[in-house]
C-alpha cells in the first residue's frame, strides 16, 4: 500500500452487507482504507468491521460520539474489541468530553494490550453552509468555529479532526504537521455535490494539507468504482 492508498478512505455508505462486500470486492487492492458509518454499522453492528479487518483493510469507524463525558468515553472503549484504526467523537461535546474520551481510550488500549486507534473530532458537518449555521443561532463564521474546535481537540489530546476542505489549510497552519485532518466533501471534477456544501477536489484537499480524504458516492456510485478510485489516487499522487 503506497502513501496515496493510505490517504484515500472509501466510504461504505451502503445499507447491506452484500452491497458492502460487493463494493470492496470490486475495488480490490486499489483501496485499503474504508469508512464504516452509521448506516452500515447500525444495520450490521461490528461484523462488517471484523470482515474488513480479516481482509487486512484499515477501518475508520465514523460514529461521531457525542454525549456526556463518561458515556462517550465508555462507548469508545466498547468499540476497541473491533480493532478499528480510526474513531471519532463530535467536538460539540466540548473540551472535557473530548479529554475524558481520549484518556479513557488510551488507558483501555494499554490495559487490553492492543494498539490504540487514532481519535479525531468532527468539527462542523460538510453538509452545512452559512445559512444553516446562522440558523442555529451561531454568531461566528463556520471557519472560525472549525478552527476553534480544532484547537480544543488538540488541547484535549485528540489526534486530529474531521473538517471540510475550506478549513484545512488554516487548521494545518495552526495545529501543525503531526495533526490529522480527515477531509470529507471530496468531489472529483464533473461529479455531483449531492448533499455536501463545502466541497473540493482530491488534489485541492491534499494541497491544503489534508492527511486523509474520504470519498463516498464518487466511488460507490461510479459505473466502474475501481477505475474511479484509481483516478482519484492518481490525482492525489500528482498533488
Residue 99 has pLDDT above 50, yes or no: yes
Position 198 pLDDT exceeds 60: no
Q: Is 67 annotated as a binding residue?
A: yes
Question: Looking at the domain assignment, is residue 3 inside a domain?
Answer: no
User: Which grid coordinates belong to 10?
Assistant: 472509501
Work out the pLDDT band at 73, boundaries 50, 70, 90. very high
* Residue 16 known to bind ligand: no
List pLDDT tens digits, range 123-134: 999 889 999 999
Q: Is residue 126 part of a domain?
A: yes
Summary mean pLDDT of the chain: 93
CA distance 238 to 217: 22
190 assigned to some structural domain = yes
Judge whether 58 is annotated as a binding position: no
Is residue 198 a part of any domain in this protein?
A: yes
Q: Which pLDDT tens digit goes with each residue over 211-235?
A: 999 999 999 999 999 999 999 999 8
Q: Which are the catalytic amino acids?
A: 62, 64, 67
Instruction: Quote the number of domains for the chain.
Output: 1
Q: Is residue 2 part of a domain?
A: no
- How many whole angstroms separate alpha carbon 188 and alpha carbon 149? 27
pLDDT of residue 6: 87
Asked if residue 127 is part of any domain, the answer here is: yes
Cell of 76: 469508545
Structural domain including 149 reads 8-238
- Does residue 12 lie in a domain region? yes
Q: What is the DSSP string of 220-231?
A: HTSSSHHHHHHH
**Percent of the chain scoring above 70 in pLDDT:** 94
Q: Does residue 1 fall inside a structural domain?
A: no
Q: Residue range 11-40: average pLDDT?
A: 96
Q: What is the CATH number of the domain that holds 189?
A: 3.20.20.70
pLDDT of residue 186 exceeding 50: yes
Amino acid at each position: 500500500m503506497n502513501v496515496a492508498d493510505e490517504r484515500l478512505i472509501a466510504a461504505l455508505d451502503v445499507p447491506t452487507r452484500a452491497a458492502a462486500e460487493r463494493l470492496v470486492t470490486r475495488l480490490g487492492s486499489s483501496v485499503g482504507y474504508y469508512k464504516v458509518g452509521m448506516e452500515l454499522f447500525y444495520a450490521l453492528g461490528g461484523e462488517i468491521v471484523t470482515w474488513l479487518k480479516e481482509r487486512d483493510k484499515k477501518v475508520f469507524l465514523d460514529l461521531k460520539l457525542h454525549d456526556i463525558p463518561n458515556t462517550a468515553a465508555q462507548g469508545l472503549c466498547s468499540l476497541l474489541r473491533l480493532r478499528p484504526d480510526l474513531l471519532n467523537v463530535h467536538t460539540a461535546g466540548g473540551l472535557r468530553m473530548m479529554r475524558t474520551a481520549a484518556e479513557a481510550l488510551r488507558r483501555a488500549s494499554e490495559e487490553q494490550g492492543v494498539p490504540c486507534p487514532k481519535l479525531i473530532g468532527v468539527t462542523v458537518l460538510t453538509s452545512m453552509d452559512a445559512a444553516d449555521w446562522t440558523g442555529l443561532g451561531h454568531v461566528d463564521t463556520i471557519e472560525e468555529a472549525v478552527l476553534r474546535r480544532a484547537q480544543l481537540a488538540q488541547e484535549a489530546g485528540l489526534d486530529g479532526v474531521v473538517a471540510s476542505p475550506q478549513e484545512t489549510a488554516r487548521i494545518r497552519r495552526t495545529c501543525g504537521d503531526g495533526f490529522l485532518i480527515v477531509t470529507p466533501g471530496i468531489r472529483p471534477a464533473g461529479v455531483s455535490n449531492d448533499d455536501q456544501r463545502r466541497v473540493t477536489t482530491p488534489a485541492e484537499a491534499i494541497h491544503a494539507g489534508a492527511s486523509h480524504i474520504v470519498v463516498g458516492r464518487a466511488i460507490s456510485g461510479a459505473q466502474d468504482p475501481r477505475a474511479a478510485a484509481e483516478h482519484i489516487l492518481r490525482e492525489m499522487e500528482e498533488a
